[in-house]
Structures are given as structure tokens and as C-alpha cells.
Amino acid sequence: MKYGIVAFPSKKLQDLANAYRKRYDPHYALITPHMTVKGVFEANDQEIEEVAKEVRNVTKKYKPFELNVSKVSTFAPITNTLYFKVDPSNELLALHEGLNSGNLKDDLDYTFVPHITIAQKLSSGEHDDIVGQLKMVGVNHSEIVDRLHLLYQLEDGSWTVYETFHLGEVN
């Protein structure tokens, strides 16, 4: 089964992201707006219990952090994906490192660019049409994230929450 760990931002920021996603993100219906902190990994029913314990061990060591988005960026030309860029604060980078090292080690072959996707799988034409406008409108929002969610994926591609982890708390 496929799992991942994300932060769901506040309703306000999710609504804002969805205003774009509804039009520009084919994954719109599969998951609500989120920032991934541990990318997709495989685990079976037994393994995930161990993973969840380990995630709990990690998340209790980190405090709630400030999620600050201040601009719209693009991953083009790698992929035609637009996103709210999340400032890579030291707290967030440390949390990401904690969730992707030790017993939770992943073979990450890319740099962690914290973000909330608002458009993806665009054609180059679509991308080029909207990137300027979305960057100009921009985004400016800050909030405290105090919890992460471990999700699993259903056969149709949608994601269900398995568990919530409060940062800085034992549960």
C-alpha cells in the first residue's frame, strides 16, 4: 500500500489553493491542498504500524512551525507544475530531515522544495499562459502548523488519512 505524510494547511489557505486547483490540477479531487513532508513510500499492514510509531517518535521532538507562503513559483521546465512556495525555514527543514532519515530513510534523489501545488500536468502552452498571471497575483499568508497526517492511497488514486501526529506531543 502507498503511504505519504503531509501537512494540511488551514481552511483559508486550502480554499485559496483550491480556487486554482479546481481549474488547473487534475489531482484536485484526489486529495485536499497539502504540503508533502515525506513523499510516497510503500508499506504493508505490519510495516506501517512500525512506521507510525517511528513517525510519532520523530514528530514529538519537533515543535509546531510557521508555514509562510509568499510567492507563486513553477517547477518548469522539469515539470509544468505551479505552486505556493513555502519558505524553507530551519524548523521545517529539520522536520523533513527527521522524517526521511534513520529508520525512515528514503533514497531521496532530489532536494526538498516545500510547496503547495496549485496547478500540474499542464501543457507547456497552458503553463506559459497562466504562469505570469499567477505569479503577479501571488500569495502572502502565514500560519502555524501543529500537526501532520499519515495518508494511504486507494485504488482510484484518492488519499485517506490513517493517522494524525501532533508536533511536540507524544500522541
Q: Among residues 53, 143, 154, 168, which is the contact residue for a second copy, using CB under 8 A?
A: 154
Which of the 8 DSSP states describes residue 103? G
Residue 145 Cβ, how far from a second copy at the closest point, in Å?
13
Q: Give the whole-angstrom CA distance, residue 155 versus residue 141.
A: 34
Cβ closer to a second copy: 14 or 73? Answer: 14
Cβ closer to a second copy: 54 or 163? Answer: 163
Residue 142 in the binding site for a second copy (CB under 8 A): no
Q: Among residues 29, 40, 108, 144, which is the contact residue for a second copy, using CB under 8 A?
A: 29
CB 25 within 8 A of CB 118: yes
Count of residues binding a second copy (CB under 8 A)?
A: 27
Q: Give the whole-angstrom CA distance, residue 104 versus residue 169.
A: 19
DSSP, collapsed to helix, strand or coil, labels residue 82 as strand
DSSP, collapsed to helix, strand or coil, labels residue 40 as strand
DSSP, collapsed to helix, strand or coil, labels residue 22 as helix
* Catalytic site positions: 34, 115
Can you give the binding site for a second copy, defined by CB under 8 A? Answer: 1, 8, 11, 14-15, 18, 22, 28-30, 32, 147, 149, 152, 154-156, 158-164, 169-171
